Amino acid sequence: MTSDPTSGPDGAYRPPALPPVTTGVWHIALPGTAIWLVAFVVLLFFIPQLQSNDAMIWLWTCLAGFLTGLLGLSLYGWQRRAARLGKRSANRMALDEKI
């Protein structure tokens, strides 16, 4: 009888290991956050037109995108620091990425 790598010693299903990270989160989140900030700053010059066309939602959407990006980047940095310090609850895949 052959041993199935997806089953544990008790015969229960065990999912296969995740593949290594090929694209860095940092390389996607940082430019995305910067783009939201640039869009917000550009729209600041068009506030009168946005107000007259009832389109202020675009300004607030850009601000929300930028703040969400900052939150994501800070959480990612927190996970990297925890992984470097050897915390058990840290995501070790963050250390595989080259910044």
Three-state SS string across 71-93, please? HHHHHHHHHHHHHHCCCCCCCHH
**Is the pLDDT assigned to residue 1 strictly greater than 50?**
no
Phi, psi of 60 (to 5 degrees): -70, -30
State the pTM of this model: 0.70
Residue 76: pLDDT band (50, 70, 90) is confident
Question: What are the tens digits of pLDDT across the range 27-75?
Answer: 889 999 999 999 999 999 999 999 999 999 999 999 999 999 999 999 8
Query: What average pLDDT is seen over the chain?
Result: 84
Domain boundaries, the chain: 27-94
